[in-house]
Chains A and B, each alone.
Chain A
Amino acid sequence: MIEKIVDPEKMRHFPPKGGKIELYWVYTSGRAGEEFFRKLREGKFIAAKCKKCGHRYFPPRIYCEFDFSETEFYEITGEGCVEAFTVATLDLNEEPMEEVIAMIKLDNTDGKIIHVIKDAKEVCIGMKVRPVLRRPEEMKGNISDIAYYKPV
């Protein structure tokens, strides 16, 4: 049988000297990420605007990628429009599933977010969607703090 590993934490050495690879990682979200997820806990969304060229970054960053000047944070609604979508029908273990994954362009920014869309009878490009957040006590400080997007 061919072993299929989809979770990196389950990776292991081959027998006979088998054993688990015990490495794991703890990441930091950085200065911009820290600010973003703290605000998210209060139910607010922020983006970042370059002080020089005015490019509006989402997810927020502390620097502008193109002219290397600083940015400033500003508040946005978190709502946006679907720019592209797909319907995933098989999960990593080839079990059937159905989930709509969309690239969403956020209002008042030049950035996009990839997230799941739920509660939609039909999804189309240009559809207006809004975020549904997890309860603050369930939040972990990563993108899953936004539970899903749903049509406005």
Chain B
Amino acid sequence: MEVEIVKGLKFHKKQDVAIVGAGMTTFKRRLLETGKELSYFAVKQALEEAGLDIKDIEMVVMGSAPDAFDGTALKGEYLLDGAGGSDRPYLRVFVGGGTGVFAPIAGYWHVASGLADVCLVVCEEKMSCCHPHPQSAFKYIWDPILDRPLKPNLIWIFALEMRRYMHVNNIRHEDIALVSVKNKANALDHPCAQVAEKITVEDVLNSEPMALPVRRLDVSPPSDGAAALIMVAPHIARQLTDEPVWVTGVGWALDTTHWTNRDLYFPRYVAEAAKMAYRMAHITDPRKQIDVAEPYDPFDYKELHHMEGLGLAKKGEAPILTREGVTARDGDLPVCPSGGLLGVGNPIAATMGVKACEIYWQLAYRAGKRQVAKEVTTGVCQAWGDLMQVGTVMVMSNKR
């Protein structure tokens, strides 16, 4: 049977979605708390900020990356009671590193569809359980016949990608290192930060080589942590606050799993995801319409890479914007004002705390010392993961 499919995305949502509260724990390499306890602390903080009680929560979305980190199979279920999931609809979503923005996207569709009026989104990761190093868990993501016998690791792949990005766009390592310098300095104002420090470009260039051109200070650290976010329908938001932050667009896309068949210099997965989110949010010129951005920055070049994918800079232009101070906290387009993964830490899914939560705090003018200098209306956050192939994007605005 032939069916006619009308091309294009249709957004028949039942109701708008507002964010009214967020919370996160400190990010550290090794925390005494269990994953459940971490989730509890993040949820408690988000509930307090929103002025809600756990009994007001209708549905819960849990985002957590591989079971292999925490070392508990069925990790979503294991974390359930700390995440407030007892006796209510509870769903775990997982797209590797992209989970930090994909979990709020799932929260969005719970509310936008009208199924829930109040949805709690929790993200947790406890990477320190995994020995000898969380990196070892990534060994098993590769093709067992074509890749794994060569013993690849993630740093390798990023070194290849970074080299390709530098080569195609003619970028020097000095310019990329500026991202690490900026983010680690921004993180000095973040109470949850793990590796906040004042460093220089020379420090980055002279740090320990890992897989050249990637050096120690080009990379974010593994961490333990959790974050939470509360999404509600308009009639609930009105009762809780005069200034909710609205989710205006969501998008996600995956590139081919054959990472050897992609051109690594440009993140197509992000560009496709951004296209979807921008269409929904009626954004035609992201560079002009977006006031603050939180692209995923597990490596310093990745922030630049993802800015270009998000259309915040032309191809090869992101390092120039960084060098000119445009992406600084007091610049025209602040990027990673939280300090990002490079400064605050990288507990895979829980990076929601410095991506989706941070954009919410910025747009609600609740970011405290981290608040950007310019007036903000629209912000975008993005995460990236799976086999380096998924882009997840969320656009928020404090105007409905």
Contacts and interface: CB of A to CB of B under 8 A. Distances in A.
Interface of A: 13, 17, 21-34, 62-63, 65-68
Contacts, number: 66
A17 B132 CA distance: 21
A31 B136 contact: no
What are the 5 closest A-B residue pairs judged by CB atoms, nearest first? Answer: A25-B71, A30-B34, A68-B54, A65-B81, A63-B40
Given A22-B132, A68-B84, A17 B32 contact: no
Given A17-B149, A67-B54, A30 B33 contact: yes
Nearest to A25: B71
Contact of B136 (A23, A67, A68): A23
Contacts of B132: 22, 24
Contact of A23 (B33, B55, B131): B131
B342 to A, nearest CB: 26
Interface of B: 30-34, 36-37, 40, 43-44, 47, 53-55, 68, 70-71, 81-82, 84, 86-87, 128-132, 136-137, 140, 144, 148-149
Nearest to B32: A28
Given A28-B128, A66-B86, 7 more contacts: A23-B68, A23-B130, A24-B132, A25-B131, A28-B129, A62-B40, A67-B53
A17 to B, nearest CB: 5
Interface class of chain A by DSSP:
loop
A26 B54 contact: no
Given A24-B131, A68-B40, A31 B33 contact: yes
Nearest to A30: B34
A30 B54 contact: no
Contacts of B34: 27-30, 33
B111 to A, nearest CB: 21
B54 A25 contact: no
Contacts of B47: 68
B54 A66 contact: yes
Contacts of B84: 68
B81 to A, nearest CB: 4
Contact of B148 (A17, A33, A65): A17
Contacts of A25: 70-71, 129-131
Nearest to A23: B136
